[in-house]
Amino acid sequence: MKNRKMPKLLYADAKGNIFDHPDFVMAGMNGTEAVIPENVELIPLPEDSRLFTIPDTPPLAWDGKQRKFVSLPTIRENGRSKKVQAVSAFMAPGYVRTLLPACDYSRKKVHLPLWSYTAVGWDEERDCFVVAASRVDTNENWNPSNYDDRKLDPLVRKRLREMPDNRLLEQLARCAVDYHCFAAKNLFFRRWEAPIPTSPSCNSRCLGCISLQPSDCCPSNHERIQFVPTPEEITEIAVPHLMQAPDPIVSYGQGCEGDPILQAETVAEATRKMRAATSCGTINFNSNGSFPEKVRMLCDAGMDSMRFSMNSVREDLYNRYYRPVGYAFADVAASVKIAKERGLFTMINYLVSPGVNDHPDEVEALLEFIEATGVDMIQMRNLSIDPDFYNKRMGVKGRGIGMYRMMERVKKEFPRIQYGYFNRTRENFYPEGLEKGWPIQG
């Protein structure tokens, strides 16, 4: 093992100042095991990513002299010992992490908030931070530099004046201005993918739901929409977007709401009205897919694409995370299959975590799921949750085959499978050369 070429451990002092260590080597965690990242999974920290500390939790590193992983509650510097804490990266969208931050989770005292946590180190040769990750999408629309609030505010006021009685527009104005939701901002900028929240309720109880938290986790980031908009309120907003925006997508179920499948009749009616008004643009439905017959109705109402969320394709693990009420994982799989059979571009929103989604049983189950449903795309989303809490709830022990290896395996068995991170316009559902498509450099 040539330690000199491996990235170095990053750690933080008690105040959160971040340092690289001259000797100890960066480690990452797959499930509950510390590992040294493979070269193929080390990429420069993407622009617009953030570094965090994992409060009061010692980092783990590879000690080349002792040839073992060590926990480092303190580090000696200038002859003095100082208390240190682990460092984690929160990456810009479009990248899937392949390793969790390596730290001594047994000594973690706080429940970490709903962010995704990625292993990060310092690469002396490249003179940059590196993360254990792989790029899965090239869409750069979501770059923060595209969201200048000085341009946004006048547009929000203008649109509110144009539609003074539309409660949904009022809600989205709050999403854009108070919650700084990029998707909601797109609606006012009239471009790209815009959200259509419709549902105050959900029939899942996800451990890491961003819009409603049961008391055994931590506070949610955003508040759920409190009412069901009418089909007229929805179409008043969606039709101009579909007709005038560049690369237009309107998406149901885009975030801080329950699940739109519980408002399927309203959503179907609104979609029929949109398609009566225009054939332009892409209409997308994001959902837990809990009711296959409602999915069938929504396909026939005029959806172009559907994306179904899941943390695992193993029923047991799905149940532990989603805690479904009145439906089963088999219903979700049936929904994916129906959407594909109805000719829609069909995706899964795969909420991944190293150690769970690269477990050999999960990989085999995923291959079977792809074969059985015909799904087109796997959106590789980093599950935002405390990794230790999640591993414990999922009963993870040990490590998987590696996220990169898992993605390679799937691509080898199904070259037509697309990886991605964002929804697509219908012109881009099946791009040329999709057998390649991944890995993406940069």
Binding site for ligand SF4 (CB under 6 A): 172, 175, 179, 181, 183-184, 195, 197, 202, 204-206, 209, 211-212, 222, 225, 254-259, 288, 309
Select 53 or 171, whichever has its Cβ closest to ligand SF4: 171
3-state secondary structure of 87: strand
Residue pair 133/98 in contact (Cβ under 8 Å)? The answer is yes
Q: Which helix (H) or strand (E) holds 420?
A: strand 418-420
**Nearer Cβ to ligand SF4 (36/217):** 217
CB of 168 to ligand SF4, least distance (A): 10
Smallest gap from residue 361 Cβ to ligand SF4 (A):
23
The residues near 96 (Cβ < 8 Å, ≥ 6 apart) are: 133, 134, 136, 352, 380, 381, 382, 403, 407, 419, 421
Residue 276 neighbours by CB under 8 Å, 6+ apart: none
Q: Which residue has the tokens 């854009």?
A: 176
DSSP 91: P
Rounded least distance, CB 405 to ligand SF4, Å:
28
Smallest distance from ligand SF4 to CB 220, Å: 9
CB nearer to ligand SF4: pick between 257 and 358: 257
Separation of alpha carbons 403 and 239, rounded Å: 40
Nearer to ligand SF4, 19 or 147 (CB): 147
Nearer to ligand SF4 by Cβ, of 66 and 215: the residue is 215
Residue 72 · residue 61 · CB < 8 Å: yes
Rounded Cα–Cα distance for residues 67 and 69 (Å): 7
Min CB(393)–ligand SF4 separation in Å: 14
166 vs 168: CA distance, rounded Å: 5
Query: Which one, 91 or 175, has the nearer CB to ligand SF4?
Result: 175
Residue with nearest beta carbon to ligand SF4: 255
Rounded to an integer, what distance in angstroms lies between the CA atom of residue 390 and that of residue 395? 8
Distance CA 314, CA 364 (A): 10
CB of 257 to ligand SF4, least distance (A): 5
Q: At closest approach, how far in Å is the CB of 174 from ligand SF4?
A: 8
Using alpha carbons, select from 362, 348, 329, 174 the residue that is nearest to residue 256: 174
**Between 36 and 375, CB nearer to ligand SF4:** 375
User: Minimum Å distance from CB 89 to ligand SF4?
Assistant: 23
Q: Which is nearer to ligand SF4, 289 or 387 (CB)?
A: 289
